[in-house]
Chains A and B, each alone.
Chain A
Amino acid sequence: MTGRDDPWRPIDLVVLSMARLLRNGEIAFHGVNSILPMVAVAVARRLHAPGLQALNIAGGINSEPRALPRSTTDPELAFGSAAILSNEDFYDLCMRGGVDTVFLGAAQVDGQGRTNVSVIGPPDRPKIKLPGGGGAAVLMPTAGRTIVSRAEHSRRSFVERLDFVTAAGNVDRVVTPLCVFRRVQGRLQVESVHPSSSPEEVIERTGFALAADRPWPATPLPTPAELRALNEVDPDRLRDLERR
């Protein structure tokens, strides 16, 4: 495990792993309650993807916020935009196939990369009522690909069986503080294990079965340039606030 004085923390590698997945020139979107994707987009634009077409739920298009806000619906995320993409316009764009990458969160993820953001416990007598999909059921099947992230990785969230399937579809990667999953032939497989974790820990803390037919590579360490960009765009470490 890593501590406070280490040059990077596991959550930093969640953000950087997502940033690395973004391609220059593609159209990427993040919605509400999405601090990690917001920071990842800002890092990618600063490094390898300056031509990213970055959209957000605050209506921003390639915006230049003066500082990243705590809420990813904050109008600051549209500051510097030369146009406002209204929420209807964004959903329409995605539903007609015009968005390459959508970032989504999840309370639970299963081995197929499906997500639950609706209820914990039996749906008719829920133990916890979650805020709901916020469009995930529409975005996940219609986006070119979906990158799911969680700031926590345990058997209560990475489950064999979801309490409720909120969204299913084009999940490409699932990024956690332990590893990066990639969906191959409909199943999540470990693509890389963060250097702060281990294959044993990933297996121990994952509730669904993982193919281990060959060794899992380590996620590349954060580079100095990545860490610099990360700390420049998020100097107050908003990324530590993401719900676990």
Chain B
Amino acid sequence: MGIATGLRAAAQGVSFLPIAGFQGSDLVAALGLKTVRDPYTDQEFVAVPRLQPDWAIVHVPEADMSGNARIYGSPFWDRLMARAARRTIVTAERIVPREELARQPERTTVPEVLVAAVVEAPSGAWPGSCYPLYQVDYPAVERYLSALDDDTAFAAYLADEPGLAARRADLATTARLADEAAASERRLSAPPAVEDETNQPGPATLVRTLGDAARG
């Protein structure tokens, strides 16, 4: 919970936030947390310092090309992380037309103004769940845990990833298009100009830059 409060401080643009609780916990000393006194009531609170990630990566079922992202079910900490980070990358099961989200804008969990890049990533949460599209793949989680110290088993685990076939098809399509373009001596349009780390356009990567609106 200290982590969430640190993220909330970042989201709110303050250097710390007071938090209820923590009485009698060794975590206060172990984390070097200090306390603040409420100037109105004299009550003492643990002060959690701001925790601002450079990047948040949030996986969602649906996003548009501008980065508007919908989460169905619980946002867990994704909604907060997208607001706390300097910039957010949205990875989405599928890219939907903007008009689809515009029909119910209140259902959008992460608004485009917070988003630096959008990546189409089918089965991107596997072996976790992406509600309501697929559930946790518990046998795969177990395979992952038992394969951690075994390269062969780990390769087998990765080869099972449900999105792999789709991405291989994408790669093949991209390679074919590139070949055709080269053959007809047409110049491929340059990938969109993006800044720093986002400049990694892959075959299934749709990138939109945040530009000067970067916060923090």
Known A96-B20, A140-B21: A165·B74 in contact at CB below 8 Å? no
Interface residue stretch chosen among A80-88, A189-197, A214-222: A80-88
Residues of B within 8 A of A168 (CB): 23-25
CA distance A141 to B28 in the complex (A): 14
B183 within 8 A of A: no
| Structural contact, B26 and A166, CB atoms closer than 8 A | yes
| Given A70-B138, A71-B136, A86:B24 Cβ within 8 A | no
Inter-chain contact B23/A169, CB cutoff 8 Å: yes
Among the 9-residue stretches B76-84, B87-95, B156-164, B185-193, the one with 4 or more Cβ atoms under 8 Å from chain A is B76-84
* A19 adjacent to chain B (CB < 8 Å): no
Q: Is the CB of B80 within 8 A of A88?
A: yes
A139 and B21 in contact, given A86-B75, A87-B74, A133-B27 (Cβ under 8 angstroms): yes
Q: Mark B118-144, 1 if CB is under 8 A from A, else 0.
A: 000000000001011001101000000
What's the least CB distance linking B70 to chain A, in Å? 13
A164 within 8 A of B: yes
| Closest CB in chain B relative to A108 CB, distance in Å | 12
Cα A141 to Cα B142 with chains together (Å): 35
The one of B19, B24, B75, B132 in contact with A169, judged by C-beta atoms closer than 8 angstroms, is B24
Q: Is the CB of B74 within 8 A of A86?
A: yes
Contacts of B39 in A (CB 8 A): none
Cα A33 to Cα B4 in complex, Å, equals 19
Task: Render B1-43 as a binary contact track against A, CB cut-off 8 A, 1 for contact.
Answer: 1101000100000000001111111110010000000000000
Contacts of B211 on A, CB cut-off 8 Å?
Answer: none
A75 contacts B22, C-beta separation under 8 Å: no
Cβ–Cβ < 8 Å partners of B23 in chain A: 141, 168-169
Contact with B along A13-30 (1 / 0, CB 8 A): 000000000000000000
CB-CB under 8 A for A164 and B30, given A88-B4, A88-B8, A141-B22 = yes
Q: Is the CB of B1 within 8 A of A139?
A: yes
Other-chain residue from A69, A86, A88, A166 in contact with B25 (beta carbon distance below 8 A): A166
A134 to B76, CA, bound (A): 13
Measured in the bound complex, the distance between the Cα atoms of B138 and A164 in whole Å is 32
Nearest-CB distance from A237 to chain B (Å)? 15
**CB of A78 closer than 8 Å to a CB of B:** yes
Are the CB atoms of B74 and A138 closer together than 8 Å?
Answer: no
Provide the bound-state CA to CA distance between A135 and B80, in Å.
16
Q: Are A76 and B135 in contact (CB under 8 A)?
A: yes
CB-contact partner of A84 in B21, B73, B132, under 8 A: B73
CB distance from B74 to the nearest CB of A (A): 3
Task: Give min CB distance, B19 to chain A, whole Å.
Answer: 7
Contact B74 A84 (CB under 8 A): yes
| Residues of B with C-beta under 8 A to A142 | 20-21
Q: Are B131 and A166 in contact (CB under 8 A)?
A: no
CB–CB A75/B74 < 8 A? yes
CB closest chain-B residue, reference A123: B30
Q: Which residues of A have CB within 8 Å of B2?
A: 137-138
**CB closest chain-B residue, reference A133:** B27
Contacts of A164 in B (CB 8 A): 26, 30
- The contact string, 1 if C-beta is below 8 Å from chain B, for chain A 115-138, is 000100001000000000111011
Q: When the two chains form their complex, are residues B24 and A118 in contact, meaning their CB atoms are under 8 A apart?
A: no
Report chain A residues within 8 Å CB of B132.
75
Contact sample, A vs B, 14 pairs, CB 8 Å cutoff: A69-B135, A85-B74, A86-B76, A87-B76, A88-B4, A88-B8, A95-B20, A96-B20, A114-B24, A135-B1, A137-B27, A166-B27, A167-B24, A169-B24
Q: A84-B74, A169-B23 are in contact. List 15 more A-B contacts (CB 8 A).
A: A69-B135, A69-B136, A70-B136, A74-B129, A74-B135, A86-B75, A91-B1, A133-B25, A135-B4, A137-B22, A141-B20, A141-B22, A142-B20, A165-B24, A168-B24
A-side residues, CB < 8 A to B, are 58-60, 69-71, 73-76, 78, 84-88, 91, 95-96, 114, 118, 123, 133-135, 137-142, 164-169
Residue numbers of B with Cβ under 8 A of A are: 1-2, 4, 8, 19-27, 30, 73-77, 79-80, 129, 131-132, 135-136, 138
Which 10 A-B pairs rank lowest in CB-CB distance, beginning with the nearest?
Answer: A59-B74, A168-B24, A138-B21, A135-B1, A75-B131, A95-B20, A137-B25, A138-B1, A165-B26, A75-B73
